[in-house]
Structure 1
Amino acid sequence: MVAEWPKAIAEGWHPVATLDELGDKRPLAATIMGQRLALFRSDDAVAVFRDRCPHRGAPLSEGRIENGAIACPYHGWRFNSEGRCIEVPGAKTCPNVSASSLPVKVEAGLVWTSLAHAPPPFPQLPPEMHDTSLDPFWWVLEPSKAGVLDALENHLDPAHPHYLHPWLVRSPGKRRRVDVEIRSGPWGGEALYTEERRNTALLPALLEGRRARSIGRLWPPTIGEVRLENTKGDFLSIAVAFSPVDVGLTRPFAHFASKKGFIPGFIKRAALKAFHWPILQQDRRMLALQEENRGADGYEIGPLDVLARAIWAHAHGRDCPDRTERIEMEL
């Protein structure tokens, strides 16, 4: 299954759950690249196993957590956080067998894993994910029909809002010149849009005021960040880690962060979710249509697809030399 995916995605680290999703009584089921997983938290670690007991193949995610170990729902065989079998109920001896465990990292409140036998170093995350001085929250959605790279490019795409989100993100028929500086390299990619003006579309007008610039950033292989900055020094960062659940099925882990202010965090969180919900539904519908209409001919890269080449190169493990380009577009 892994061989069907681009190299950096097949071997890379991906989020499979928030740490808060892990309870102390039941394992959590998850899927990544078509592989079913069982997650649980013991007294001293978080563990990710392939969702199969080595005894009779029962799904471990249907079991329970007993004394810091995961117990199979079929015969009760217990496995510690390293995967080693530590008890067979009713037997005086324990076979030298293990559940198939995967590497685990807990970073920024998420549980990450890799299907690779020798995974690469853990990727750099957007600094806003670790900045305790900000007002942050995670918004984790259910998987939806979308290719993982299509979803990533959609998040970083500046050109579609006029057509897909009229009056919500961009005002139709009111395009203005925007200066764009595009940078890419082995570290990822970045597009800086300078557009000091008041956006009359609903979401920016209410949440941003007069925008100074916006930034789209690629954090390889599958994290995209959009950062919106206004002339008062306030900003909103929306960094999304797109997890490849299966071919054509993607789960977004979206991290929102902004400066703390007089508006309580819970009100800001509710407002941001409410405003982004219709945008999210429009994007999801289009990504589903795109996935259903996928053919063997591939895609053409247009003049406004500013980070498409960097996204493709990093996903496929190709060289991405340092490069800077300046263009003008109308948004």
Structure 2
Amino acid sequence: MSEPWPAAVAAAWHPLAYASELDRPLAKTLMDIPVVLFRAGRDAVALVDQCPHRNVPLSRGKVCGNHLVCAYHGWRFDLHGQCVGVPGADSVPNVAARSLAVHEAGGLVWVSLAPQPPPFPALRPELGDPSLDRFWWPLPSSRARLLDAIENLLDPAHPHFLHPYLVRRPDARRAVDVHFTSNARGGEARYTEAGTQSAWLPRLFEGRRTISIGRYVAPTVAQLSFESDDSFTLAITVVFVPESRDRTRPFAHFATPRGLLPGWLKRRALIAFHTPVLRQDRQALALQAENIERMGAPDYHQGPLDLFGPLIWRLANGLSSPTEERKLQFWL
């Protein structure tokens, strides 16, 4: 028997595609379930990607009007998955492909596998703020366990070793005041420091950083936000989608204040400088997943800088988390 998915993750809404992609049937995978997305008129539709006739993928078919037509025998299915036509026959069997809950928001198509999904949550305001320069960075999935990938983005301890000189200098640590708060919806760590950063990425894009903020919004959203002396400079919001047990797809959104530099130039620069960081993170997460599989099970122990790990695990599994506030000092 396969291990159940964390309760809050299993019930949650997950983005599977950009809204602009639904000009054809799209094959996606969510928690090991194959899904087909298509558009019927203005409506986004999500079905389990299995024709109830002979079980071929419906994603191999085509959209005709408001119907999805199977590529094998031409059976037609409406936006609820109900079969509405069989070529060559006067009758239609009362069968249907399983329909899934779907919602469009933030330029993405979100799907829930739950029979009764929760109300769609409010998205981070940066995802829809028209006063900001914003873009989604399309990224493929890679080998990574879902909760480990979320924690990796919010982890302040690994950049010195995994991203030396790009994100943090390994030979120039400084005292950082940390204010950590958490509740039943997620958590936030505010890192207050002084002076211009010595690593390349923060020097180029953040200037004199005074506050770095890591946010976790249960169950699958993480954000890094940076502020200079007088204003917000950059917010990176990532929605992590569990395709399978050890394969995760990030939907990464970048937001910056509008200024002298055009948005297209900032987009190119941000992608160029974050590409090596992403590659290093993916390599580490793949090694982690491979080694957990080799050992048969994970075996985690918490350290003094591991602020988010226990919180992510509890909230993703649908467990309660009391309101908490802590003040600490790290050397970062």
Moved beyond 3 Å, runs of 4+: none
Letter in 2 for 1:221: P
Displacement, 1:93? 2.3
Match of 1:20 in 2: 20
Match of 1:5 in 2: 5
Letter in 1 for 2:72: Y
Displacement, 1:3? 5.3
2:223 aligns with one of 225, 249, 260: 225
Distance in 2 (CA, whole Å) between partners of 1:14 and 1:148 is 12
User: Is the 8 Å Cα contact of residues 46 and 111 (structure 2) preserved in structure 1?
Assistant: yes
- In the TM superposition, 1:123-202 aligns within 5 A as 123-202=121-200
Normalising by structure 1, we get a TM-score of 0.97
Letter in 2 for 1:5: W
Match of 1:303 in 2: 304
Displacement, 1:297? 4.8
Letter in 1 for 2:239: A
Match of 1:280 in 2: 278
User: Is the 8 Å Cα contact of residues 27 and 38 (structure 1) preserved in structure 2?
Assistant: yes
Q: Which moved more, 1:113-122 or 1:177-186?
A: 113-122
Distance in 2 (CA, whole Å) between partners of 1:55 and 1:207 is 54
Distance in 1 (CA, whole Å) between partners of 2:267 and 2:20 is 18
CA deviations 1:272-321 (Å, max 9, x no partner) are 00000000000000000000111425201111011112111101111111
1:47 aligns with one of 20, 24, 45: 45
Distance 1:13 1:49, change over 3 A: same
> In the alignment, is residue 319 of structure 1 matched against residue 317 of structure 2?
no
Distance in 2 (CA, whole Å) between partners of 1:21 and 1:167 is 37
Q: Which moved more, 1:226-235 or 1:265-274?
A: 226-235
1:240 aligns with one of 238, 241, 244: 238
Match of 1:68 in 2: 66
Distance in 2 (CA, whole Å) between partners of 1:287 and 1:58 is 33
Letter in 1 for 2:14: H
CA deviations 1:170-210 (Å, max 9, x no partner) are 11210000000000001211000111211010010111110
Letter in 1 for 2:249: R
Residue 270 of structure 2 aligns to a residue whose secondary structure is helix
Displacement, 1:122? 2.0
Letter in 1 for 2:21: E
Q: Which runs of 5+ in 1 are unaligned?
A: none
User: Is the 8 Å Cα contact of residues 125 and 219 (structure 1) preserved in structure 2?
Assistant: no
Residue 209 of structure 2 aligns to a residue whose secondary structure is strand
Displacement, 1:121? 2.2
Instruction: Report the count of equivalent residues.
Output: 329
User: Is the 8 Å Cα contact of residues 205 and 233 (structure 2) preserved in structure 1?
Assistant: no
Displacement, 1:140? 2.3
Match of 1:263 in 2: 261
Distance in 2 (CA, whole Å) between partners of 1:47 and 1:199 is 47
Letter in 2 for 1:14: H
CA deviations 1:50-94 (Å, max 9, x no partner) are 000111111100000101211001111111111122221122222
Distance in 2 (CA, whole Å) between partners of 1:78 and 1:263 is 50
CA deviations 1:244-291 (Å, max 9, x no partner) are 000100000001111111211111100000000000000000000000
User: Is the 8 Å Cα contact of residues 2 and 33 (structure 1) preserved in structure 2?
Assistant: no
Distance in 2 (CA, whole Å) between partners of 1:100 and 1:249 is 24
User: Is the 8 Å Cα contact of residues 47 and 104 (structure 1) preserved in structure 2?
Assistant: yes
Displacement, 1:137? 0.5
Letter in 2 for 1:90: G
Displacement, 1:2? 8.1
Match of 1:29 in 2: 27
- In the TM superposition, 1:205-216 aligns within 5 A as 205-216=203-214
Distance in 1 (CA, whole Å) between partners of 2:2 and 2:25 is 24
CA deviations 1:100-143 (Å, max 9, x no partner) are 11000111111111111112222332111121211111112111
Distance in 1 (CA, whole Å) between partners of 2:278 and 2:189 is 22
User: Is the 8 Å Cα contact of residues 63 and 72 (structure 1) preserved in structure 2?
Assistant: yes
Letter in 1 for 2:52: P
Letter in 2 for 1:41: R
Distance in 2 (CA, whole Å) between partners of 1:223 and 1:240 is 6
Distance in 2 (CA, whole Å) between partners of 1:297 and 1:305 is 16
Percent of aligned positions that are identical: 51
Q: Which moved more, 1:37-46 or 1:88-97?
A: 88-97
